[in-house]
Amino acid sequence: MSFEAYVPEGSHHYMALLKILRSSQITLPAELRRQFGLSEGDYLEAQAVKEGILLKPVSVVERQKAGHALVKLLDRVHAKQPASKLSAQAQEEWIAQEVKAFRKDKRPKRHA
């Protein structure tokens, strides 16, 4: 691990100079990991920005775990709703009408 910590002139922010190691790996200093609550196995999103590379912590949910949670939630919702007497097409048309009415109500009023 090779890095140097410094505070850029005119700044009050902690900065770290990182070195790219074998296999293009970098090591974030412990102070930054603590500050952002990062630990081994966490994910960072790398984004190209005008000033360079921006690393942002992200939450990644396992697909299978998220799928089970969604099914469980849908089961709870459907269990509370009575079965519809409308056909699937009639339900879709009703939903489209409701959305259209909602959008019309939320549209900004024009002043003459």
Which value, to the nearest 10 degrees, does the dihedral of the CA atoms of residues 74, 79, 80, 85 take? 100
pTM over 0.75: no
Report the CATH fold assignment for 1-82.
Pemi-like Protein 1; Chain: D (2.10.260)
Quickly tell me which residue has 């396992």 as its tokens.
62
> What are 53-83's pLDDT values in tens digits?
999 998 877 778 888 888 888 887 766 767 7
- Look at residue 51 and tell me whether its pLDDT is greater than 80: yes
Report the amino acid identity of residue 85.
K
Give the tokens for residue 11: 């700044």
Radius of gyration of the chain, Cα coordinates, nearest whole angstrom: 26
Report the amino acid identity of residue 38.
L
Q: What is the distance between the alpha carbons of residues 16 and 57, in angstroms, rounded to a whole number?
A: 17
